[in-house]
Structure 1
Amino acid sequence: MKPIRNSAKAVIVLDGRLLVIRLEDQYGTAYVFPGGGQEKGEELKDAVARECLEEIGQAVNVGELLHIREYIGKNHEFAEWDADIHQVEFYFACSLIDPEATVFEGSNPDDHQVAVEWIALEELSQIRLYPKTIGELLLKSGSSSIYLGDLN
């Protein structure tokens, strides 16, 4: 069994659109929030800032913690190959330091990452977004649930 891993994620919303990473895998197109694994000795807020530079090529202001989600691989659709994964994900409200930025090319993109895109919030239910629950919560103003548990 692998150790539990912490991951810091950015929720960047601007003008009614969410900034996401577009991935291409064997199932087609999927979208995820920018962010990734926390390194030893690194605070979560620093991890999300570093990961945004690596994946979207833009510096961010890291704001408040919005949600904590667990991902226990054996309980999800990809259990066949990641059943031994247990990850705790921390979702932070972030904003681009340069909100006028039009170029999003990170120095160290994720595997399968093909683009960085803005998706209108009202279109989130029509795409393969992971985790979809975070997208649903973005549409519900006033949602205050921080700990979400193991969900998709």
Structure 2
Amino acid sequence: MKPIRNSAKAIIIEENRLLLTKNSDEQGCFYLFPGGGQEKGEELKAAVVRECLEEIGCQVEVGDIVYIREYIGNNHEFAEWDYDVHQVEFYFECRLAGAQTPNNGINPDDNQVGVEWIEIDRLHEKRIYPRQLVEQLVNKQSKPCYLGDSN
């Protein structure tokens, strides 16, 4: 079994819109929060900054952790190929540093085809992971919380 992996993610909201990476798979388009794996010796906040540069091509200012989510692959619809994945994700409030235009950064994820601002009220219309975090944002629940094992 693979070791547990830490991942640092950014929640970037401007003018009631959420910035997400746009990805593509055999089922069509899906969206993820920018961010990714923490490297050995790297603080979580530094991981968010690095991952945002790689994925959305923007420098971010990192605020507080607002959500923690676990993903235990064997418990979800992608168990066929994610059966040995266990990831702990730390979601930080972030904002773009200065006037920047997000786009694919210098090292986007394999399935990433772009970035997109999506209105908070329209998040339910898209396939976004993790879905439970979308519920929190749409319902404007800003109280920090642990989301548990969710997809």
TM-score bin, normalised by smaller chain: over 0.9
| Percentage identity across paired residues of the two chains | 60
The separation in 2 between residues aligned to 1:72 and 1:23, in whole angstroms, is: 21
Matches within 5 A, 1:1-152: 1-98=1-98, 100-152=99-151
SS in 1 for 2:143: coil
Q: Does the CA contact (< 8 Å) of 2:66 and 2:142 recur in 1?
A: no
Give, as a single letter, the amino acid of the residue that structure 1 aligns with 2:87: Q
Structure 2 portions without partners, runs of 5+: none
Give, as a single letter, the amino acid of the residue that structure 2 aligns with 1:128: R
The separation in 2 between residues aligned to 1:147 and 1:141, in whole angstroms, is: 16
Structure 1 portions without partners, runs of 5+: none
Q: CA RMSD in A?
A: 1.0
Q: TM-score, normalised by structure 1?
A: 0.96
Structure 1 residues 76-112: Cα deviation after superposition (integer angstroms, max 9, x where no partner): 11000110000000000000002x3224230000011
Q: TM-score, normalised by structure 2?
A: 0.96
The separation in 1 between residues aligned to 2:38 and 2:23, in whole angstroms, is: 21
The separation in 2 between residues aligned to 1:130 and 1:8, in whole angstroms, is: 14
The separation in 2 between residues aligned to 1:122 and 1:142, in whole angstroms, is: 13
Give, as a single letter, the amino acid of the residue that structure 2 aligns with 1:63: G
